Amino acid sequence: MEADLVTVLRCPVCSDALALTGRTAGCSQGHSYDLAKQGYLNLLPSASSGIDGDSAAMVGARTVFLGGGHYAPIRDALILAAAGLREDDLLVEVGAGTAYYLSGVLGTAPGRRGIALDVSRYAARRAAKVDRRIGSVVCDAWQELPLLDDSAQLMLNVFAPRNAAEMARVLAPGGTLLVVTPNQEHLAELVGVLGLVKVDQEKERRLQESLAGKFEQAGTELVESVMRLDRTAIEQLVLMTPSARHLNHRELAAQIAVLPEPSVVTLSVTLSTWQVA
């Protein structure tokens, strides 16, 4: 991780700013955190180390599925929504996974920087490799985020946990939060036949409630497309979702084997834009 990226981070113990010396990030109080050899920084307090992020298999499936471009309409919509960014703005993705969306929104501006936050070490390893302008940090999004107040101009939250108070603290005045949530129609063709976790009918209300008081909604956009997925892509798609944890993999393979190829699958998500209240 580049030293200038570490300067936007704060110590998870005392909240002082961190700075990089060699391969160790440290604060003025003497707390220190070694960079992992894969390039990410683990700022998860040891008490939280039992939290389950995505497994190696889920991150592997996500890397291959997203690499197939099936969710490119979501990435393109985020890039358009972030069009007002300046060259040297800092972007943060909460629950970044493989940093697919963060790297897309960073675009080609050489001075723009990004921080990918995820509780999964496997995701963090992957995000650390994506782009030199991205700093990859392991942390728990439900706790205090290890970032300085007012440090980011844009925050992304795509199918990921949202901690409104912390996201608002880290966003600079005038900063923007872009949130992507699935609609009822999302992957509908697969949900029933494969026994995937259904989208919560109350999702929209829960989104509003989770951000109320800290953010004001500035707009929403429906992002939809029709994906044509072969069986391998369907398997990767299922294995990267939370459904992967409770499905019997042998039964899943048998159910996928009888699906038409390609299968037509709906992509339907809402991209909402929020400003700090």
Ligand X SMILES: C[S@@+](CC[C@H](N)C(=O)[O-])C[C@H]1O[C@@H](n2cnc3c(N)ncnc32)[C@H](O)[C@@H]1O
Q: How many residues bind ligand X (CB under 6 A)?
A: 20
Task: Supply φ then ψ for residue 201, to 5 degrees.
Answer: -60, -25
CA-nearest of 155, 140, 98 to 123 is 98
Q: How far apart are CA 40 and CA 103, in angstroms?
A: 16
In the list 3, 14, 57, 277, the residue contacting Zn ion (rule: CB under 5 A) is 14
> What's the angle, vertex CA 92, arms to CA 245 and CA 208, rounded to 5?
70
Compute the least distance from the CB of residue 129 to ligand X, in Å: 15
Pick one of Zn ion, ligand X, none as the site partner of residue 14 (Cβ within 5 to 8 A by kind).
Zn ion
- Number of residue whose CB is nearest ligand X: 97
In the list 31, 129, 198, 203, the residue contacting Zn ion (rule: CB under 5 A) is 31
Q: How far apart are CA 210 and CA 163, in angstroms?
A: 8
The footprint of ligand X on residues 58-97 (CB under 6 A) is: 62, 95-97
26 vs 91, beta carbon nearer ligand X? 91
3 vs 222, beta carbon nearer Zn ion? 3
The token pair at 116 is: 């990918």
In the list 21, 29, 32, 232, the residue contacting Zn ion (rule: CB under 5 A) is 29
Stretch that binds Zn ion, among 26-34, 94-102, 174-182, 234-242 (CB under 5 A): 26-34
14 vs 212, beta carbon nearer Zn ion? 14
Q: How far is CA 51 from the centre of its chain?
A: 16
Q: How many CA atoms lie within 13 A of 162 on its CB side?
A: 23
In the list 8, 128, 137, 158, the residue contacting ligand X (rule: CB under 6 A) is 158
Compute the least distance from the CB of residue 57 to ligand X, in Å: 12
Q: How far apart are CA 59 and CA 158, in angstroms?
A: 15
12 vs 95, beta carbon nearer Zn ion? 12
Does residue 166 bind ligand X (CB under 6 A)? no
Which parts of 86-244 fold into alpha helices (H)? 100-106, 121-130, 164-170, 188-194, 203-211, 231-239
In the list 20, 106, 123, 147, the residue contacting ligand X (rule: CB under 6 A) is 123
CB 237, CB 259: distance < 8 Å: no
Instruction: Tell me which residues touch ligand X (CB under 6 A).
Output: 51, 53-54, 62, 95-98, 100, 118-120, 123, 140-142, 158-161
